[in-house]
Structure 1
Amino acid sequence: MLKSMLGCCKVYISESRNRKALESIERAARLIPEAPIINKFEDDTYNRVGYTLVSKLSPEPSSSSSSSSCPLRNAVFSMAVFSMVRAAVESIDLEMHSGSHPRLGVVDHVCFHPLLSASLDQASTIAKSLAADVSHALQVPTFLYGAAHEEGRTLDAIRRELGYFKPNSSGNQWSGGLKSETLALKPDEGPAQVPPTKGVIVIGATQWVDNYNIPVFSTDISVVRRIAKRVSGRRGGLPSVQAMALKHGETVIEVACNLLEPNKVGGERVQLEVERLAKEEGVAVGKGYFTDLSQEKIIESYLKLDSFM
């Protein structure tokens, strides 16, 4: 059934304090009601906002399909996200941006996820279509990852190459974008030079990912970095968990986690592990939080909204 084939797109924009810019981005999204914003998560300290959009998808055309079978809904989904990206690039100057969350560009990261009976191939096709449009129409260097990249390159691999995890300003803050116009990694699409006001964009397609942040009540970033490294699967911690320490106000540093396989290692398990490690370090931990609705809640919210459309 077509109705059971849904796609989700998460759009992370490096801005939360410029209300006019956010209004412009959301106005652009409303122009294409077939792909509504289901959730919005803002963080003023990080100066970052995440939007979650959902759309019905059409099946990928088979080799025997006629041209009339083209997946028009998928093109509309790509167009909806492109409209938001264009509005963001036109209304935000990355050189004026600062916050305690890293970023590579005005639109830092876009990821497509298949929902219900949709496939990862469908999500990757939309991601690649969006990358082509963004890179050529907006002249933004564009990197692909996950199923959208021919070798399945990961998001964190791109970020490491481009220096995403190293603060570029004082006090563990990030200001502006990349400090060099020359990229350490060749973009998959678009120009090789970085426009300082726009930065670069990373676009991918993966199975569902949860983001879970846990506040640690400490002012010592080195302590929380140790905890984050020990939690991260890359350092022998919890499998499929990526973690980093981010300053979040004057007295809190968060262990910010990507849960790549949340059905296997979810927020509750990560919470317990951070609490255990924090106790060893002699620091207190608060209750963590997800930065988006659950996959099930997003589907439920969309289907409820769709019944009125």
Structure 2
Amino acid sequence: MRKVIECVPNISEGRNADKVGAIAGVIERSGAKLLDLSSDPNHNRTVITYAGEPQAVAEAAFDVAKAAIASIDLTQHHGEHPRMGAVDVIPFIPVGGVTMAECCEIAEQVGKRIGQELNVPVYLYAESARVPQRRKLPTIREGEFEGFAEKIKDPAWQPDFGPAERHPTAGCVAVGARNFLIAYNIDLDTSDVTIANRIAKSMRESSGGLMNVQARGIFLEDKQRAQVSMNILNFATTPLCRVFELVKMEAARYGVGIVESELIGLAPAQAFMDVASYYLQLPGLSRDALVETRIYE
């Protein structure tokens, strides 16, 4: 089987299309293909998705980091999404013919290069984490760019690679290996962000909500409405339909409805098959029922 890895760098720029295009433009090469760009001006962040053969994907990840670090100045950056780096996070995801252990090796390889050659502190996270407290990205990112000047002085937060001080304009970066993550947001028909924050608290695992869900409330300046912004870390145990229905139920407590949902980046087809199976009451529905699957095979 051909070895295929997905990489999803998140960069702290979502408003300057030329800058985003220049950074993403370093990806395409033999063995690596750009699949999607998803920029959001409110979050001021872009999710880049590409895939390919392991070594080509690794080389492209380093080039993305190099381009982002050279062109993004976090001292001038403002947005709704938490961030600690110009290139904030670089995850490697096994797609086919590759193990999680191999993705961890690639994460270490890329992280070491970023630390040594670009002089940016690197934290290994998720399956690549060397200590338990660094498995979860929000824990590493706590304090964000502004707070890391002091945080990194704590012996517990010495980076895995690179200098033991925050880069003055590019901050720090988390690099690791993980399974598929779905970035899923729900817009509410209210401008009251306190309601979005209350709903987010009821959703996230750390507050006693759904397993494998990270959530926060934000205000969308361009739409003048509140949003529940979420990451679903395991759609097999916490499907999209369950997330949607719980947000809908919690919103109803405050007399608020849902305007629309938003998917950031790409997601596995099975996640949507699970949604169709639930709402259409089609137990056992799988991708084998799709004509496109049969044609592709």
Question: C-alpha distance in 1, partners of 2:110/2:117?
Answer: 10
Question: C-alpha distance in 2, partners of 1:260/1:17?
Answer: 26
Q: Matches of residues 1-309 of structure 1 in structure 2 within 5 Å?
A: 1=1, 3=2, 5-30=3-28, 32-56=29-53, 74-152=54-132, 153-159=135-141, 162-164=142-144, 177-179=145-147, 181-182=149-150, 183=152, 184=154, 185-249=157-221, 251-296=224-269
Question: C-alpha distance in 2, partners of 1:223/1:296?
Answer: 31
Structure 2 counterpart of 1:286, one-letter code: V
Question: C-alpha distance in 2, partners of 1:54/1:180?
Answer: 31
**Deviation sequence 1:1-46 (CA, Å, 0-9, x none):** 2x2x31111010000222332232123113x231111111111221
Structure 2 counterpart of 1:23, one-letter code: G
Once the two structures are TM-superposed, the CA of residue 216 in structure 1 deviates from its matched residue by 1.8
Aligned 8 A contact 2:128 2:176 in 1: yes
Structure 2 counterpart of 1:281, one-letter code: Y
Question: C-alpha distance in 2, partners of 1:284/1:295?
Answer: 27
Question: C-alpha distance in 2, partners of 1:179/1:265?
Answer: 32
Corresponding residue for residue 274 of structure 2: none
Question: C-alpha distance in 1, partners of 2:73/2:265?
Answer: 26
Q: SS at the partner of 1:281?
A: coil
Report the number of matched residues: 266
Once the two structures are TM-superposed, the CA of residue 144 in structure 1 deviates from its matched residue by 0.8
Aligned-residue sequence identity (percent) comes to 29
**Deviation sequence 1:109-161 (CA, Å, 0-9, x none):** 111111134211111111111100111111111111111112352222212xx
Aligned 8 A contact 1:24 1:91 in 2: no
TM-score, normalised by the number of residues in structure 1: 0.80
Aligned 8 A contact 1:47 1:100 in 2: yes
Question: C-alpha distance in 1, partners of 2:111/2:89?
Answer: 11
Structure 1 counterpart of 2:230, one-letter code: C
Structure 2 counterpart of 1:234, one-letter code: S
Structure 1 counterpart of 2:215, one-letter code: A
Question: C-alpha distance in 2, partners of 1:180/1:79?
Answer: 27
**Deviation sequence 1:60-110 (CA, Å, 0-9, x none):** xxxxxxxxxxxxxx3332111111110111112111111222211111111
Once the two structures are TM-superposed, the CA of residue 234 in structure 1 deviates from its matched residue by 1.8
Corresponding residue for residue 290 of structure 2: none
Q: SS at the partner of 2:84?
A: coil
The higher relative CO (CA closer than 8 Å, separation ≥ 6) is in 1
Q: SS at the partner of 1:51?
A: strand
TM-score, normalised by the number of residues in structure 2: 0.83
Once the two structures are TM-superposed, the CA of residue 219 in structure 1 deviates from its matched residue by 2.7
Q: SS at the partner of 1:188?
A: coil
User: Which structure 1 segments of 5+ residues have no match?
Assistant: 57-73, 165-176, 298-306
Q: SS at the partner of 1:199?
A: coil
Aligned 8 A contact 1:212 1:259 in 2: yes
Structure 2 counterpart of 1:285, one-letter code: I
CA RMSD of aligned residues (A): 2.1
User: Which structure 2 segments of 5+ residues have no match?
Assistant: 271-295
Aligned 8 A contact 1:178 1:196 in 2: no
Q: SS at the partner of 1:76?
A: helix
Structure 1 counterpart of 2:258, one-letter code: V
Question: C-alpha distance in 1, partners of 2:23/2:98?
Answer: 27
Structure 1 counterpart of 2:124, one-letter code: L
Q: SS at the partner of 1:181?
A: helix
Q: SS at the partner of 1:111?
A: strand
Q: SS at the partner of 2:108?
A: helix
